[in-house]
Structure 1
């Protein structure tokens, strides 16, 4: 058994803090939280990703709600360190040169783990190769494949160039890094030896979310030496990167128990689940952070101790939440986005705008929602989220919500926060009164925003999918929308309105003691378990320490 395995962690996106524009959404935030937790726990983990000088994109919203995608440039030259080291990756008829930049992640005890970013926007490269470092998740497929080659093959070669080629585990966070398996075969000499060093995590239960490249397009880019190592891996002259990664890793996993069930059926092989978590020190508001420091001083290193939150005074919990809610209100007012009241019940919904996430679900029966708002003399709803590049359905969802927000809806008030990122996420998950999530089942692999809300004493209201299958304790940590097996949209819709009107808002308005109990239960039952300390321990015990030999 490896008592302290050395791990190289590959991810196309990594979210560490808002100023480092290297993430688009939950996948990157999870990667950042994982790397921070490894440093906190004293685990030797080196991160590797691509440097994107224009980030993902900066969302600008026009008056009519149109999403405009602007460059989200950042000051990487002053935030990162240039190592002065470059690596050359052979391609079919070219060479890709990658400049290696470094960021140091410092854990709570002073442990430092490096994170390396590969920069292709340098003079030695062709314009096609320079584009690798322009934008994360570019809509251009030929650039996406180059990015995947840079991350996988370039990442393994870069670590070797840095003198860091003695890793026990190469953890591929999604299949974007699958070509790293090819580089490991080349470096270690055999498929079996490479497989014995790879762990792989898949993050989507949706067929369209899995990357497939043709043999022709792959061989048009990678070197003949690397192409020869893939000869027997194609299926109908295509390489399905998720299947390829699953078949060539000693351990693989899904990101929740429900996702495990779905993925195992999809790929006809056992794929165990290690449910995602969050880095508690990052996502607790300053007010809950201080409260936990005082009442549960071990929580940053041992988040499981948050089980003791039920013993904290309800008044202290409500006070911490009210301060966080006021910060959210102040932010909205300072950015001229509207005016909200501290005393009015506030629903939060923020995530990538995708069809299966049903961003406009709450408004499907708008008159019914307005009735609820009138009954309780007010209802506030805060939305945020970006749509993919050129994803018209998502952009239409955003425009619809923004147009609604500009209408006179009586006692119903809607706010849309533009350019969703880590800072706005922190404000929302701590400042809203309930966290809404309503994906079409079973298309939510895990989800982590609800975990962040729970850490801040915010109960969830969600369809029973992803992590909520495990986190739901009805009336204790939050509430279900519908049931786990039935996908009847009308039933779910009526159940959501009914619970808001008859259970949730009445408890919030008329029974502060009961609401404080709910807040403490969300922390005690959910935050104590759905954290990256527990998650990383599971990876070490179940994945990194498993040997094929």
Structure 2
């Protein structure tokens, strides 16, 4: 099917520049006589519409301290280099903290629905305080394909335990996402993370939000402090930690 599409279409592209490069190597044989660099497969990197995604608090802040028309300079590096320090640190943190509070409230509502659906009795106060806006909040939300390596952070469980259970430096991780219905390995990743979020040692420290959609993404992107991304390409398939054979676990 891919070969048919490449032969019958007038333009071909990957997503990232790396994806385009890999695709040119993969399909070079369809254009015999052409060097890899001449294979007509380009790349168009994903982007976002700025004003659809910017948090209202930050939009107001940028308009006040940078330029009322700051949106016209989104891709102007010189503009950001010369203007970004105009925003007082306290004002920037206040705006971000408001987004953290919004995420905490959204998480409370989402978790209440999850527990009601699962018919699990849980104190309302406990759910309300599940996400601590004063903690360092990590976020990971996307499609659960194995190459995205959602469980990479669990590779060193002892270190993760120390980080997430340090009473002086609270840290929490919020996961969200879906797997394709036919992607059994992807669904296994979700199952593993959910199980870890319900374990006694990580309960309240690792949170999994169900029914990931664009609305949830807005809260997560603007309300987390650190966004987890694991771009290093693995040399072998990623398998949930609890499903690895002893020999594989020992190698890690």
What interval of TM-score do these two structures reach, taking the shorter chain for normalisation?
Answer: 0.7 to 0.9
After superposition, the Cα gap between the structure-2 partners of 1:270 and 1:324, relative to the gap in structure 1 and judged at 3 Å, is same
Check 1:411–1:373 CA distance in 2 against 1; reply closer, same or farther (3 A cut): farther
Distance change in 2, residues 1:241/1:419 (3 Å): farther
* Correspondence for 1:293: 63
Cα shift at 1:302: 3.7
Give the distance between the partners of 2:182 and 2:202, measured in 1 at CA. Answer: 34
Contact 2:16 2:44 in 1 (8 A): yes
Match of 1:303 among 47, 62, 74: 74
Query: Match for 2:97 among 313, 322, 328?
Result: 322
Distance 1:393 1:331, change over 3 A: same
Structure 2: distance between partners of 1:365 and 1:428: 25
Q: Report the Cα distance in structure 1 between the residues aligned to 2:179 and 2:15, rounded to whole angstroms.
A: 23
- Is this contact kept in 1: 2:197–2:204, CA < 8 A? no
For 2:139, the equivalent position in structure 1 comes to 348
State the shift of 1:343 in Å. 1.2
- CA displacement at 1:386 relative to structure 2: 0.5
Aligned residue for 1:346, secondary structure, equals strand
Tell me the SS of whatever aligns to 2:207.
Answer: strand
- SS state of the match for residue 356, structure 1? helix
Contact 2:197 2:203 in 1 (8 A): no
User: Partner of 1:380: helix, strand, or coil?
Assistant: strand
Contact 2:171–2:205 (CA<8 Å) still a contact in 1? yes
User: Where does residue 16 of structure 2 map in the other structure?
Assistant: 256
Task: Please report the TM-score for the alignment, with normalisation by the length of structure 2.
Answer: 0.73
Report if the CA contact (8 A) 1:329-1:342 is conserved. Answer: yes
CA distance in 2, matches of 1:347, 1:302: 29
User: Given the alignment of the two structures, is residue 406 of structure 1 paired with residue 198 of structure 2, yes or no?
Assistant: yes
Q: 1:281 aligns with which of 51, 56, 60?
A: 51
Task: Give the strand-richer structure, 1 or 2.
Answer: 1
SS of 2:188's partner is helix
Q: Secondary structure at the match of 2:205?
A: strand
- Matches of 1:314 and 1:241 in 2, distance apart? 55
Structure 1 runs (4+) greater than 6 angstroms displaced: none
Deviation of 1:420 after TM superposition, in Å, equals: 0.7
Query: Match of 2:68, SS?
Result: coil
Distance 2:233 2:93 in 1: 33
CA offsets per residue over residues 118-172 of structure 1, 9 Å max, x none? xxxxxxxxxxxxxxxxxxxxxxxxxxxxxxxxxxxxxxxxxxxxxxxxxxxxxxx
Q: Do the aligned residues in 2 keep the contact of 1:377 with 1:411 (CA within 8 Å)? A: no
In 2, distance between residues paired with 1:294 and 1:399? Answer: 45
Matches within 5 A, 1:11-26: none
Equivalent residue, structure 1, for 2:186: 394
Matches within 5 A, 1:439-458: 439-441=231-233
- Larger helix proportion of the pair: 2
| Alpha-carbon distance, 1:410 to partner | 5.9
Give 1:379 deviation, angstroms: 1.5
Per-residue deviation, 1:361: 1.2
**Which gives a bigger RCO, structure 1 or 2 (Cα 8 Å, sep 6+)?**
2
| Contact 2:111/2:209 (8 A) holds in 1 | no
* Shift in Å, 1:374: 3.4
Structure 2 residue corresponding to 1:382, chosen from 154, 160, 174? 174
Using the alignment, how far apart are the partners of 2:3 and 2:232 within structure 1? Answer: 25
Question: What residue ranges of structure 1 are gaps of 5+ in the alignment?
Answer: 1-211, 213-238, 444-488, 494-549
Q: 1:390 to 1:292 in 2, by over 3 A?
A: same
Query: How far apart, CA to CA, are the structure 2 residues paired with 1:310 and 1:351?
Result: 32
Structure 1 segment 212-227 matched on structure 2, within 5 A: 212=1
Alpha-carbon RMSD: 2.6
Larger radius of gyration: 1
Structure-2 change in CA distance of 1:364 and 1:412 (3 Å): farther
Q: Where in structure 2 are there 5+ consecutive unaligned residues?
A: 29-38, 113-126, 236-247
